[in-house]
Every structure is written in structure tokens, then in C-alpha cells.
Amino acid sequence: MVKASIEARGDLRLTRLTKTYGDFTAVDDLSLTIPKGSFFALLGPSGCGKTTTLRMIAGLEEPTAGSIHLGETDITTTKPYQRPINTVFQNYALFPHLTIFENIAFGLRRRGKSDVKEAVEKVLNLVELPHLAQRKPTQLSGGQQQRIALARAIVNRPALLLLDEPLGALDLKLRRQMQIELKWIQKEVGLTFVHVTHDQEEAMTMADTIAVMNEGQIEQMGSPADLYDNPETAYVANFLGQSNLIKGTISGNDGDSQIVDLYGQKISLPKSRSHAVDNSTYAGIRPEKFRISLLETPVKGNVLSGGKIEDVSYIGVSTQYQVEMPWGQELMVFEQNDDGVAPFKKGDAVNISWEPTFTFGLRGDEDATAGSEVAPEVLDEE
């Protein structure tokens, strides 16, 4: 039984997983399959249930309802030490009384593996820290501890590697570097990685598939490009990057497109990206997809006219504009600084245009601000 579970391999399948603490539902009827060998990210703000989900997979929390399967093996109630799953903890949780070598060897020794020395040295080379083997964890920097925590987990060749905000304690520059390294290591060792994070950029950089979580449920799941270009809900549109959501009415069809009336101006929207359930909709456009032009300049594609530049912020690589539209809404526009100068000034009367294929449509009864108010920087979740 124990033997069988510890050698289980295959896809991870969560079925109707629920976890409640008293009246509070942390994870609500969650079902998903994580294919073997993939880099999967659970993305969401503090308290969305992503860490609880991870802890249930690790066996550190017992689900209130539902089941967890690894391949054909039901591991819902097996103890953490009987699961072929290892975790990289948020604050690393290295053993302070053991050397780096013994920290990494811990899992191997528990399972009575031979060739411990060889395996540890190999993984230390992989994380590029072979010279630290005899140090204690407190003698290492945060970035080094992070790599050792990773090494301690992957040396066991688990069926599944769980990463709980593994880069949260690192500074921005180191974080970016580790993101690339983690991705590389995952490819190198070919393990299934399940990565929990609140950082949408981190999730998009590393994961093949992202599940955006909100209030204990999965809001949307897909590839990073899928989620970014074709969000199904206002929550996803706002949490993953920024979005301009303009209220409108679907007034007709034109082949593969819908014609949407935005305060009297008609635009077109690909049907494949419309998630509206009736005539009322929100047309969504990412700020960098917009182009600004002066009134006399001819433009193609979708056009909204009558804008007025309200604010200009030059941020080097791009310039951010706030453009006030005739109906009072301020739209956000990011323009690349291709030519080195900000061509528009505050008060300029402008048109806004964009490629119709970049438009996505949401349900008209949604809260257009959902997901934009959450503070993704808060680290102490649950």
C-alpha cells in the first residue's frame, strides 16, 4: 500500500476538492488535471485558496471532501511521507542543524537509497552550488537557500514537485534570474512542477498552463497567451495584466465577428473571443494594443473618436496615456517609444484605434473592476 503510493506516477487529478475551516471555504469544489511533465501554475491573490490546494496535494492538509489521484493511485488520505511528492517551501524550511549536504541527502536517506553522495553532488552541480556542501543553511544567502531547497526536493525525483511561492523572499532581480533557471531545471529533469504564486509575471514566464484562482475556485485555465489574449472574465482580464473594459451592446453580426455598439460608436469583435451571454457586453482591449492618432490622421481597424489626452507619463520603454472618452471613461494606452519622443501632449484631441482581432468580449453583467482591486504583493496568505 505504502509502496504502491510512493511509486505512483502519472497525471495529477483533483476531483471536487473542498477544504473548509469552520464557516470559511478555502477551496470550493475544485477539479483539475495536471498532465505529467508539465509546468503548472496556480495563480491568484492572497487567500484565494491556492496554497491550501498545494498543501492538500502535499498531504499537509486533509481535504474536507473530494479526492486526489496520482495516475491510478488514490492518495487522498495517504500521509505526506508516503507520497512521491516533494515541496519547495515558501521560506525554504531547510534543517538548520544539518549541513547543506545532509539537508539534500535527507529524503534519500529516509528511503534507504544507495549512492547518496553521488546523487547529492549531481544535484548540487545542477543548482551550481557544489562548494557549499559542508556549510550550514544560516551561512547561505537567500538565493542560495532557495536553490538548496529546490535541490533537496528534486534530488528525490518525485512524481510531482510543489513550489509554494518559492521566489517570494528574493529581490526582484534575483527573482527574474531564478524564474529562468527554474524553467530550465524543469525541462532538464522532466518532472511535473506545480507552482503556486501571486505574481502573474512569474506565472506567465514559467508555466505551460496557468489556473487563475479566485475565492477557492478556478476562474480560468489555459496557456499564458490564452489567458492574456482571451480572458473569459473581468477578474482574469484585470488580474493578468491590465485591461480597458468598455460597456457596450451587441448590435449585429458580420461573418466571424460581432458588431458592438460602444456609446454610439461601432466596433468589431471576433466571435471566438466573445463570452457574452446576451446582447449586453464589455469590450476589452489591452492598453498596449491601442494606437493613438490625431484627428486628421487616417486610421484602420476599430476606431473610437472624441478622445482627449488627460495625462502623459513617460516611463522610458513606453509612454502611458490616460485618454478621456466622450462618455467620461478614462482609457489607458501604452505606446512604445519607437521614435524616442512622446508625440502627444495633455489636452490633445485624439482618436484611438486598434486591430479588431485584439478585442475580447465579456459578459455585460460582470463587475468591470473585479480582480483589479486585489493587492498581489501581499505575501502572507492564509
Interior angle at CA 91, CA 90 and CA 95, nearest 5: 125
Q: Of residues 47, 59, 166, 168, which one binds other proteins by CB under 8 A?
A: 59
* 85 touching other proteins, by CB under 8 A: yes
Q: Of residues 35, 37, 80, 343, which one binds other proteins by CB under 8 A?
A: 80
* 89 touching other proteins, by CB under 8 A: yes
Pairing of strands 318-324, 280-285: unpaired
* 167 touching other proteins, by CB under 8 A: no
Cell of 118: 553521488
- Residue type at position 1: M
Q: Taking phi first (over 0 means left), then psi (-120 to 50 degrees means alpha), and beta for anything else, what does residue 71 get?
A: left
**What ranges in 219-337 are assigned the alpha helix state H?**
224-229, 234-239
- The site for other proteins, by CB under 8 A, has a size of 24
Q: Per-residue string for binding with other proteins, 90-129, x by CB under 8 A?
A: xx-xxxxx--------xx--xx------------------
**Smallest distance from other proteins to CB 111, Å:** 5
* 156 touching other proteins, by CB under 8 A: yes
Q: Of residues 18, 25, 29, 60, which one binds other proteins by CB under 8 A?
A: 60
* 86 touching other proteins, by CB under 8 A: yes
Count of Cβ atoms closer than 10 Å to residue 368 Cβ: 19
**Phi and psi at residue 142, to the nearest 5°:** -55, -45
Contact 335, 348 (CB under 8 A): no
**Smallest distance from other proteins to CB 95, Å:** 6
Cell of 84: 512521491
Name the strands in the sheet holding 302-314, side by side, starting at the edge strand that comes first in the sequence. 291-294, 349-354, 302-314, 318-324, 330-336
Q: Which is nearer to other proteins, 49 or 59 (CB)?
A: 59
**Smallest distance from other proteins to CB 7, Å:** 12
Q: Which is nearer to other proteins, 112 or 316 (CB)?
A: 112
- Residue type at position 36: K
**Smallest distance from other proteins to CB 39, Å:** 20
* 21 touching other proteins, by CB under 8 A: no
User: Which strand (E) or helix (H) includes residue 203?
Assistant: helix 200-206
**Smallest distance from other proteins to CB 37, Å:** 21
Chain residues binding other proteins by CB under 8 A are 6, 58-60, 79-81, 85-87, 89-91, 93-97, 106-107, 110-111, 152, 156
